[in-house]
Structure 1
Amino acid sequence: MKPETTAVILIGYQNDYFSPDGILYPVVEESSRVTGTLDNTVALLDALAPTPALLIATPIIFTPDYSELEEPVGILASIKEAGAFKAGTQGAETIEQLRRFGDRILQVPGKRGLNAFSNTALDQILQDRHIEDVIIAGTVTSICIDSGGRAAHERGYRVTILSDCISGRSNFEQDFYCEQIFPLYARVIGHQTLLQEMAVPLTEQHTAAATVSHSPISQTIDGNHE
């Protein structure tokens, strides 16, 4: 996999999902903690920022009256009812951890539903950059991650979903999709494996953190040992 033909699609990295005071923070809090979504995503971006890899964020933002949602159902109805992701609110803004990357992350506006390709220029941008591999990270595993991954596959891209950079509504959902659903159309790997395949080293800070997190003692404490 070559960085120059690879794009990382960052889905849902907004305060309403990932900030402790976010409206929908409780929805993904447990899964985010278990998978280490934010720490792993930042490690990935720190490593890829100096490379030619395309980094894209596709935030979901609605007008204050949600006029673009006609008779919403499911998660979109819940978002409207809760008042999440309104334009001009802190909840709709990109999380602080990603803002520090500035314009290194290309913001692609227009997402109003589950699919990052719908109502956005995402596909055209990927074509213009001759992207072959699409990497998916973010939230929610069973909704926007699955929808975006399928859409990328249907458009002819090779899709990789990073199991340690996505968050579900529960640990069961996370495991089920990573083990049973995503492999039907995508590869499912961790961010360190991806970087190894791209021959991109972790930064020294993240290398040290990874070493600690994968020590036998740490694994036993976290309950993640195999």
Structure 2
Amino acid sequence: MDAFDNLAVILVGFQNDYFAKNGVLRGVVEEPGRVDEVLANTMNLIRKLANTKALIISTPIVLESSYRALSNSSGILDKIKESGAFSVGTFGAENIPELAEFGDRITYVSGKVGFNAFSKTDLDNTLLANSIKEVWVCGMVTSLCIDSTGRAAYERGYKVSIVEDCSSARTALEHSFYCENVFPLYGSVIESKSLVMS
């Protein structure tokens, strides 16, 4: 049995508006170079897992141009509306081109319109159909989508790990706070660089 038979890696927000050089939300991450570092680490992690049985899932957020799903928004969701981010049919809403390298090795789960990748999507059914027991969560933003998705996975009975060097917050301090104080309340914090793949 493959050591990764029951593992899923959930990629959150790997879209042009966060990761492209001209992405409208790239500046949300204040630490210089952090976005590129997260992208490089995540691509390396996927390459390590490509020949295993691990399920790799991308959960993009795509919103109607009216932003109806964000009608009562505040904080970063207001910034998404104001900037026109993740609007259906736009460059920014598209998955980053780097994921194309992996072809059908990546499963795409649509429907995400908020922080939690399980809400209003088929993510849980996809995990159940593949006998997943453990999830690793990567992406943007640590304190919002990553935390919301991690908690939701835990509440559904999955063993949860947040991949620290494949995720980012708005600031280094915020990222460290969640990794040191919040995530250990319901899961583990791991680093992709320290993972040994057979």
Q: Output the TM-score relative to the length of structure 2.
A: 0.94
Number of the residue aligned with 2:5: 4
Number of the residue aligned with 2:122: 121
Match of 2:69, SS state, is coil
Q: Percent identity?
A: 52
Cα distance change on mapping 1:32 and 1:138 into 2, 3 Å: farther
Whether the aligned pair in 2 keeps the contact of 1:162 and 1:188 (CA below 8 Å) is yes
Number of the residue aligned with 1:214: none
Q: Which consecutive residues of structure 2, in runs of 5 or more, have no partner in the other structure?
A: none
- Residue 67 (structure 1) aligned with residue 56 (structure 2): no
Cα distance change on mapping 1:174 and 1:14 into 2, 3 Å: same
Number of the residue aligned with 1:148: 149
Equivalent AA in structure 2 for residue 56 of structure 1: I
Task: Give distance in 1, aligned partners of 2:69 and 2:104.
Answer: 28
Task: Give distance in 2, aligned partners of 1:126 and 1:32.
Answer: 33
CA distances 1:186-206 after superposition (whole Å, capped 9, x unpaired) = 10010133x32xxx25xxxxx
Whether the aligned pair in 1 keeps the contact of 2:142 and 2:175 (CA below 8 Å) is yes
Cα distance change on mapping 1:35 and 1:191 into 2, 3 Å: farther
Cα distance change on mapping 1:188 and 1:168 into 2, 3 Å: same
Task: Give distance in 2, aligned partners of 1:115 and 1:176.
Answer: 20
Number of the residue aligned with 1:217: none
Greater Cα offset, 80-89 or 24-33: 24-33
Cα distance change on mapping 1:128 and 1:138 into 2, 3 Å: same
Task: Give distance in 1, aligned partners of 2:136 and 2:72.
Answer: 32
Moved over 6 A (4+): none
Equivalent AA in structure 2 for residue 136 of structure 1: V
Number of the residue aligned with 2:180: 179
Match of 1:92, SS state, is coil
Whether the aligned pair in 1 keeps the contact of 2:19 and 2:35 (CA below 8 Å) is no
- Describe how 1:72-221 pairs up with structure 2 within 5 A: 72-193=73-194, 195-196=195-196, 200-201=197-198
Equivalent AA in structure 1 for residue 62 of structure 2: I
Number of the residue aligned with 1:27: 28
Q: How many pairs align?
A: 197
Equivalent AA in structure 1 for residue 154 of structure 2: H
Highest CA radius of gyration, 1 or 2?
A: 1
Q: Which consecutive residues of structure 1, in runs of 5 or more, have no partner in the other structure?
A: 202-226
CA distances 1:137-171 after superposition (whole Å, capped 9, x unpaired) = 00100000000000000100000111100011001
CA distances 1:39-81 after superposition (whole Å, capped 9, x unpaired) = 1101100111111100000000001121233222222222111
Task: Give distance in 1, aligned partners of 2:64 and 2:36.
Answer: 32
Task: Give distance in 1, aligned partners of 2:47 and 2:74.
Answer: 37
Question: What value does the CA root-mean-square deviation take over the aligned residues?
Answer: 1.6
Equivalent AA in structure 2 for residue 96 of structure 1: P
